[in-house]
Amino acid sequence: MKCYIVDAFTKVPFGGNTAGVVLLEKGADYPDDAWMAQLAAELRYSETAFIRPEGPAEFTVRYFTPAGEIDLCGHATIASFSTLFQEGLVEAGTPCINHTRVGDLEILPGPVTMMQMAPARRVGTFENPEMLAALLHAMGGLEADDLSALPVENISTGLPDIILPVRDVATLQALRPDMDALSALSTRYDVVGVHACAIDPTDGYTAHVRNFAPRFGIPEESATGTANAAFTYYLFLHGVIADGAQCAFLQGEAMGRPSTVLSTLTLQNGHPDIRIGGPAAIVLRGKLF
């Protein structure tokens, strides 16, 4: 089996969000689940993707953290299909199908773009003063004046996240969440975590963002496909973007791993179709024994 280390959502190594990528031979059986989790633990990245070719442009991808299998991972998907294209294993310009545990996803080339997992929806709001106060406390003692005029909402395109708009980039970069309190709050509202954002199109980006998911052992994520899909829908709901929008989100600055996450939103029969994508850089290739 071939093994790669790939930085997703960046054009240069040592930026973005890193994933392990393992390529099986066509027709091969997947290794034992415990073995795949052990390999994910050995690589020490948040996710490792195991790709099995099913046809010229059709693949089954399974995703493992060091603790076990998960249904889907956005940055590991970008890393996987970027590797397939860069290594010449898929003909340039060819759309692909990714068979996952949550269903089949269409993958488009150049830069690699994946469709949303599920219909976009607003799960709930944080208009209740007690809910908002608990969230502000968990985010390190934010004040109401630190927020933007846009509301705090729970949005999902398959995985729910709390979208927390703050007033400016300086406030965003100064965030120091209480990870224990945030983990408990995320469990209480059954969300992955908090996607904090500062809308500032003056520097060429739609927004600067930070993602915190301590409930799942991730204090901060340098690039998050699923949360930025939810954020794209949030921007559409509140009239910040319109049908046909192309967005660019800058994430990972506070971690020293700047990432560019791209998204598009188009209406299909009145329903938003959201695509998330970006570049990826192969850092290492090798062979598993």
- Which residue in 225, 222, 248, 224 sits closest to 235, CA to CA? 248
Running DSSP on this structure, what letter comes out for residue 32? P
CA distance 285 to 122: 41
- Which residue in 197, 179, 124 sits closest to 156, CA to CA? 124
CA distance 99 to 177: 36
Backbone angles phi, psi at 157, to 5 degrees: -120, 35
**Cis amide bond preceding 219, omega within 30:** no
- The torsion of the CA quartet 241, 242, 247, 251, rounded to 10 degrees, works out to 30
237 contact partners, CB below 8 Å, separation of at least 6: 122, 153, 155
Cβ-contact 140, 167 below 8 angstroms: no
The two beta strands, 153-156 and 218-221, are unpaired
47 is catalytic: yes
Fill in the amino acid letter for 182: L
Which tokens hold the place of 30? 């997947």
148 contact partners, CB below 8 Å, separation of at least 6: 165, 166, 167, 198, 199
Question: 42, 47, 58, 106: which one is catalytic?
Answer: 47
Cβ-contact 263, 240 below 8 angstroms: no
- Which residue in 59, 56, 62, 5 sits closest to 30, CA to CA? 62
Residues annotated as catalytic (active site), given as ranges: 47
